[in-house]
Amino acid sequence: MNSFCKAWLGLVLAFLYLPILVMMVMAFNQSALYEFPFTFDLVWFKALISNERLLQASLNSVWIALANTVIATTLGTLAALAFARYEFRGKTLLQLLLLPPITIPWLIIGTAMLIFFFWSGIGRGLHAILLGHVALSLPYVIVVVGAQLKNYGPQLEEAAATLGASPVEAFWRVSLPLIAPGIAAAAAFAFAVSFDQFVISYFLAPPGISTLPVEIYTSIRKGFTPEINAISTIILFVSMGLMLLVARNYRFGGNRK
């Protein structure tokens, strides 16, 4: 089993990275139309430096994704705790209500949000985009953290309580470290949902302000160039570096031996 599973994991990773390698390679290819033969050139990275719009949009994306990750992970974990630790009327209904944000096409949610935000005075802007992203991320966080909490009964928290810990202390000292891998995974989901979200952002971004996916999707008409590959490559390496840095201080994959 051991070697079979390891080989399988290797194949899965190869599958995951095949198109990403292609993406990176094309960032260094001269042709604007992604044509072969491959000719090494840094032209797209150079073009990027003067593309303020794309850089500003990337920065917006990073900030929104980070804010979204913090808010959605916090709110979602609280709700997941309620579902895992309490039986109450309306619980199933609340859980089913998590489906619409992921089932109803974004385009419809986006149109609906645009109308409602206009009507209610929330308006368009980065604040509106953040509101929308958190809403889309919440179901993911609640489902993922919930799946983790299912495996830990309340016994440990009860034990902590009998030893004199307050519920909050029990959560903080006992449950939180146990469900940390789930929360880390949920945070990864939340970040990814926001970082790659374009339809909602596209509707809610006012003129002159945009996010990276919006830039990419609207540039389809004109032609997205390997500049997009170049910035994707940079982002990938930067985030890899950041994650490694964080991983030095915190064990992502859980802390069991």
Partner 1 sequence: MIISRRQRVLASLTAPAYLWLALTIFLPLSAMLYFSFLTVAPVGGRESSFTLAHYRAFFTKEVYWYNAWRSFELAFYVTTFCVVLAYPAAYALTHYIKGRWREALFLLVVLPFWSNALVRTFSWTMVLRGDVGLLFTYPAIVIGLVHAYLPYAILTIYVSLEAIEQSLTEAARSLGASPLAAFLRVTLPLSLPGVFAGAILIFVPVTGSFMEPRILGGKNAMMLGPIIENQFTAVFNWPLGAALSFIMLAIMLLMLAAGAPFFARYLRQG
Partner 2 sequence: MTHSQWTRRHVLAGLATLPAVGLLGQTSRANAKEIKVLNWQGYGTDEKWALEMFEKNTGIKVTHDYFNSEQEMLTKLRTSPGTYDVVLMNNTFVMDAVKERLIDPVDSAKITHWNDLSPAMRDSERFVQDGKHYAVAWVWGVTSIAYSTEKITSKPDSLEALWDVANKGRVGWRDDALESVQFAALATGQDMNFPKDLDAVRNKLMGLKDQIKTFWSSEDEWNKYMAAGDYAISTYWSGSAARSKKAFKLPVEFVVPKEGAIGWFDGLTIAAGAPNPEGAAAFIDFMVSPQFYVPWDTNVGAPASANAAANAALPADALNRVVLGDAETVKRLHWMAPMSDQVRQSYQELWDEVKTSFTK
**Chain residues that interact with partner 2, rule: CB under 8 A:** 32-35, 67, 70-71, 74, 111, 114-115, 118, 123-130, 166, 168-169, 172, 202-203, 205-209, 217-224
Q: Which does 9 bind (CB under 5 to 8 A by kind): partner 2, partner 1, none?
A: partner 1
Given candidates 147, 161, 165, 209, which one binds partner 1 under the rule CB under 8 A? 147
Given candidates 63, 70, 163, 196, which one binds partner 1 under the rule CB under 8 A? 196
Of the candidate spans 40-48, 49-57, 113-121, 156-164, the one that interacts with partner 1 by CB under 8 A turns out to be: 113-121
Closest by CA position to 194, among listed 217, 211, 216? 211
Q: Taking CB under 8 A as the rule, does residue 96 contact partner 1?
A: yes
Distance (Å, rounded) from C-alpha 1 to C-alpha 14?
20
Describe the crossing of helices 126-149 and 106-120 by its angle, rounded to 10 degrees: 130
User: Which ranges of 122-175 does DSSP label H, i.e. alpha helix?
Assistant: 126-149, 155-162, 167-170
Q: Distances from the Cα of 250 to the Cαs of 83, 180, 184, 203, 220, in angstroms? A: 27, 10, 10, 37, 39
Distance (Å, rounded) from C-alpha 201 to C-alpha 29?
30
Interaction pattern, residues 35-54, with partner 1; x per rule: CB under 8 A: --------------------
Nearest CB to partner 2, comparing residues 163 and 247: 163
Nearest CB to partner 2, comparing residues 16 and 49: 49
Q: Which does 123 bind (CB under 5 to 8 A by kind): partner 2, partner 1, none?
A: partner 2
How far separated are the first and last CA of the chain, in Å rounded? 20
Q: Cα 78 from chain centroid?
A: 18
Could you tell me the smallest distance in angstroms from the CB atom of residue 247 to partner 1?
5
Q: Taking CB under 8 A as the rule, does residue 57 contact partner 1?
A: no
